[in-house]
Amino acid sequence: MKQELLKQIIVANRRMVAQVALNSRSVTWDNVNYVLVGMRQSGKSYLLYQRIQELLSTGHSIEEMLYVNFDDERLIGMQAGELDDLLQAHYQLSDVQPIIFLDEIQNIAGWEHFARRLANEKYRVYITGSNAKMLSAEIATTLGGRYMVKEVYPYSFAEYLRAKGLEKLSDYWYYDTQVVSRVRREFEDYFYYGGFPESVHVQEKRNWLQSLYQKIFLGDIVMRYQLRNANALRLLMKKIAESVKQPSSYTRLANVVSSAGQKVQTNTVIDYVSYAEDTWLLFSLTNYAGRFAERESNKKYYFRDNGMLNLFLLDGATSLLENLVAVELKKRYGDGLYFYQKGIEVDFYLPEEGMAIQASYSLWNDDTRKREVEALLSLADHLSIQRLLIITHAEEEVFEEKGRTITVLPIWKWLLM
């Protein structure tokens, strides 16, 4: 790689990251190296910019910052063996040891060996990537515990409100009718179009989301994995979106896609689903009550951002509600989140928290209310559960049923708790 080009890129990037305007996110950094992972446009690059600006504000110089984005078309074709050229270019510009920021590093095959060497040589390093295979056992072994992993999601609702000009809410904001009205208006936008940072002030949000989805679908899945049947993958994503509230087996998904005219085998569906998860488009939950084989083959799938899911739905408010609850719980509790289905159907179960949660758009219908409440009570009788919660679109109450307290919260308020 030509040194003059690399020096031009380094200098231009220094100027850009020092000046870019940011909506600061609540992130704490320890004195370690980091790998930031998550979907495209979830804000990983902006977290690097934020970190650089924080370092500059505490006395570090701009000459220390070595930031490179490997989505830069000028770096297409760069090989892992050329990554050291970045260090050489930096030292031709400055004799200070750099703090290194490597953005979208998954574009360079074998990058982990360079990252390991940087850590061994005591460089401070921040890395981002949009592919979950960055966390594979092989790469984790190569990095050898030298990096801390942070998962980056699109904006939380609180971050979204700040980006829209609603600064930190007071402890009693929910008693201020004007603030509540504003929060609820902003929530409807967040509910349907998600929290990708760059989409916040975009007018044509659906078009923006469609463009991002096509980039993930074609670039990060079809081209990366050299798929020959893109139509089958397209149908599979649609069927998963339409079934977001129900467990789906690989066999069932294969049959549904095949019946729609795109013949696929179950093994192909397994691969396609794993690719969608690897690009952080989807995540899955297993059935706490299921046997091992069922846990692995019959899961519930959710999209990591409501805006992506909404692209597939015509009248999907109930699915969007459950999806948004799933995303928030996944962020808060990680792998401790399950669904429960064995004679009882409960949307979310957190055994370590002793909590069970139903997502229901409304409880006005008596049959719906009875179904949701009875499922929670049955599970509470069967397992050790202290907290029973129903999350709705707009309703709120607390009531006693058979000696147990059930809390009903509107999702916009729950997200801000």
In this predicted structure, the answer to whether residue 224 has a pLDDT above a threshold of 70 is: yes
pLDDT band at 406 (very low <50, low <70, confident <90, very high): very high
Pair 146, 33: CB distance under 8 Å? yes
Q: How far apart are the first and last CA of the chain?
A: 50
Contact in structure between 81 and 88 (CB atoms under 8 Å):
no
The model's pLDDT over 300-347, given as tens digits with 9 standing for 90+, comes to 999 999 999 999 999 999 999 999 999 999 999 999 999 999 999 999
Count of other CB atoms within 10 angstroms of residue 67: 24
Digit-coded pLDDT (tens) for 165-197: 887 777 778 888 888 899 999 999 999 999 999
Where does the pLDDT of residue 83 fall: very low under 50, low under 70, confident under 90, or very high at 90 and above?
very high
pLDDT band at residue 140, thresholds of 50, 70 and 90?
low
What are the E-state strand segments in 182-312?
248-249, 282-285, 298-303
- Over residues 344-386, the pLDDT tens digits come to 999 999 999 999 999 999 999 999 999 999 999 999 999 989 9
Between 149 and 8, the higher pLDDT residue: 8
Q: Kindly report the average pLDDT of the chain as a whole number.
A: 93
DSSP 3-state helix, strand, coil percentages of the chain (rounded to 5)? 50, 15, 30
* pTM passes above 0.75: yes
Token duo for residue 21: 């305007």
Output the six-digit token pair for 285: 């939950």
pLDDT score recorded for residue 138: 61
Q: What b-and-e string marks burial along 75-89, b requiring 16 or more CB atoms within 10 Å of the CB?
A: beebeeeebebbbeb
Which of the four pLDDT bands, split at 50, 70 and 90, describes residue 101? very high
Find the mean pLDDT for residues 267-279: 94
Tokens of 404: 């147990």
pLDDT of amino acid 270: 96
Confidence of residue 130 (pLDDT cuts 50, 70, 90): confident
Q: What is the mean pLDDT of residues 154-161?
A: 95
Report which DSSP code applies to 198.
G
In this structure, which long-range contacts are made by residues 163-169, counting pairs with CB atoms below 8 Å and at least 24 apart in sequence? Answer: 163/23, 163/197, 163/200, 163/201, 164/200, 169/416
Tell me the pLDDT tens digit for each residue of 19-67: 898 888 988 899 999 999 899 999 999 999 999 999 999 999 999 999 9
